[in-house]
Amino acid sequence: MRQDKKRENRPKVRAERMDTKCGYIGHMTVDQIKERSFGENINAACPECGKIHLTVEDTEEAEACRISKTERFARIKSDSEI
């Protein structure tokens, strides 16, 4: 009985990893990443694209950008068609 009461009083902790892409998190600014992270050593790169976004406008621009319109995508596509 005492064990059950002890478990009920334990604080619940939620942690997220920003350096993995196991689901869609979306583009995030450095400040948003800091809010969700803990510890001193954080990776400030966007979990979606790997770039560093300083403002919300940067994230909105990244979301609006089509990957299929980039030079890198065209190069990868042409290499795969050979």
∠ CA 33-35-54, rounded to 5°: 45
| pLDDT at 52 exceeding the cut of 60 | yes
Q: 62 to each of 1, 25, 32, how far by Cα in Å? A: 54, 13, 15
Residue 26 region, left (φ>0) first, then alpha (ψ -120 to 50), else beta? left
* pLDDT digit string, tens, across residues 6-43: 667 777 666 555 555 555 677 889 888 888 877 788 88
The model carries a pTM of: 0.51
Q: What phi, psi does 45 have (nearest 5°)? A: -75, 140
Question: Which residue type, as a one-letter code, is found at position 54?
Answer: L
- The residues, ordered by sequence, that sit 6+ positions from 63 with a Cβ below 8 Å of its Cβ are 26, 27
